[in-house]
Structure 1
């Protein structure tokens, strides 16, 4: 099986790293194209994969073809590869906002298309990916993609295509919101006298641990929050301040804005 990547940026790097870590295929069975020679040289040196400047060549060789480029570059890429893919090629797009219907219309015949919305924590194997497919993708092929992406990213789950923009808002954009929260926690620690580096570590580990506690305990966020909030204690005082400043409403609005932007892409 040959796995091809058009675009060799951060997300492709995360996926390739995960595929090789899981030994899904050998390095020589992964190919990729990128706009710059420097990117191609770096990926060859780091992972031992084969690269080309030709998108069409990568598409023609691949059994599974990842379109790992930003949405605005997709029209050019699709024009490059429209006659290079075949009915057997399984295309996996990680571009936000572009539906399977929109993608399939770029090709002269029937194509198999899976959409995937991963996030940047995939770079450390702790990501989350939402996945959907068109009618030409079989259950077996879908299972293969879910296992492949799940092993690379950390988690992959199927969602209806009409909810892909919503899933992208919740998992695709939200790492930036979490980083803002970590930065704010750390700033508060610095204000209180902690060294900057230590404050970052405390804040980041707390967010990591809280997320793992929720996933592994099976408890809801509300239940876990109540476990921390002692009557008349420090934490409930902080929770009240967050509520007064519309913390939850601000987060919901931020995710909503990301969803709306995705729909317009």
Structure 2
């Protein structure tokens, strides 16, 4: 494995939105010494002449002498089964396969790559595109401490990282944080529509909703206080916020709906893993 002073040799399979966001993080953080990208589409112009980046058509087209420390699997889950077998020859103790594909289990990777394959399965989310992602990862039994640290540095280049030992937890993780940005965007839509219903012009209602949610999110990010404490701090007794929260926090309010939504997404994640 490449040492910490030289960075790692990375093979990035798929360079879509998530793969591209991770690549940007690696190049800016210095964690990569060399990146070879396997991507059907042409590379962005900014990468064509990048000194650390080159392209390949597949594992049989790698630069001479290039041995990846990490093979990052960033293709869509629906094409993983057809793409992965080509990379079986790269499965060796010194190379870890890091997957960011939803619904693809460690067992499925071991079945294709071989029982001795070194595999880390992870679930990032879309704020990784701006370096504010949240990723949860789980290693198989063959991953060394050094490989865990390397994968952590790759994932941390686009946000925060949490490691777990129970792979089954990735289903509710997917439901909460993987799908979670969509819930926040829906909240913005709902707030804007509610503002319109109260008489605001549509453009102003959306502007207020976007700024409020993004600003509150950044306040939460910067504050060490629990979310509940921040909520209480802006809720004056018998004020407008309390009037709204009495509706949102009722027995049939936000919490039971959100609990049902997360449960539905968790069930679907488990179905996709079958």
Q: Same fold (TM over 0.5)?
A: yes
Which residue of structure 1 lines up, in the alignment, with residue 83 of structure 2? 77
User: Structure 1 residues 46 and 230, CA, compared in 2 at 3 Å: closer, same or farther?
Assistant: farther
Whole-angstrom distance in 2 between the partners of 1:159 and 1:262: 17
Query: What is the SS of the residue equivalent to 1:4?
Result: strand
| 1:5-54 CA-partner distances (Å, limit 9, x unpaired) | 1111111011001111212225xx1111123xxx2333664783312222
Which residue of structure 2 lines up, in the alignment, with residue 10 of structure 1? 17
* TM-score (structure 1 length as normaliser): 0.88
**1:187 Cα offset (Å):** 2.9
User: Structure 1 residues 46 and 232, CA, compared in 2 at 3 Å: closer, same or farther?
Assistant: farther
* TM-score (structure 2 length as normaliser): 0.85
Q: What are structure 2's unaligned runs of at least 5 residues? A: 1-7
* Structure 1 stretch displaced more, 1-10 or 41-50: 41-50
Aligned-residue RMSD, C-alpha: 2.3
| 1:176-234 CA-partner distances (Å, limit 9, x unpaired) | 111111122233344532461x5444323322332333343332222221111111111
Question: Which of the pair is proportionally richer in helix?
Answer: 1
Whole-angstrom distance in 2 between the partners of 1:261 and 1:56: 36
User: Structure 1 residues 213 and 126, CA, compared in 2 at 3 Å: closer, same or farther?
Assistant: same
| 1:139-182 CA-partner distances (Å, limit 9, x unpaired) | 1211121122112x210111232211111111100101111111
Q: Is the 8 A contact 2:119 2:142 kept in 1?
A: yes
**1:119 Cα offset (Å):** 0.3
Which residue of structure 1 lines up, in the alignment, with residue 36 of structure 2? 31
Query: What is the SS of the residue equivalent to 2:32?
Result: coil
Whole-angstrom distance in 2 between the partners of 1:253 and 1:90: 36
Whole-angstrom distance in 2 between the partners of 1:10 and 1:44: 15
Which residue of structure 2 lines up, in the alignment, with residue 255 of structure 1? 262
Aligned length: 258
Query: What is the SS of the residue equivalent to 1:83?
Result: helix
Q: What are structure 1's unaligned runs of at least 5 residues? A: none
